[in-house]
Structure 1
């Protein structure tokens, strides 16, 4: 791990950023004591839908709670909110 004084880091920030982007970790020091580390940023991502599909396919899972139908975000029927619910079974 590379150590660099804060005064030098201030003058070479662009160069240090390139080195960090390449995967290097750099410790910035003040009076010889570490004050911060420059490390590559973690990639943030959302849900890997393709990975989920591949996982299910590998294990033969065809449907499970959480499957989203293709028409999920289609507009609802005009009378949807005024149509009574069916009676509960067993009650």
Structure 2
């Protein structure tokens, strides 16, 4: 992945577009902080693409989290997290 400043991106947009056409992802920064990514268009290979219908793009979320340094967003989920609560759960006094 290539990183360039906004000024460089403005000056060299044609060269960056060629790199993106070859499949490279270019991150553009302002004051050293990422502001946007230049990525190949979904239908760039000539293939017909259909937009996803609804739902969460988990792979994109994981890729984004890895890009900002988060390796495991949910470190632990108990095996019984979705089990029904005991019948008297709401009747017991709070500690």
After TM superposition, the score normalised by the length of structure 1 is: 0.48
Q: Which has the higher Rg, Structure 1 or Structure 2?
A: 1
Larger relative helix fraction: 1
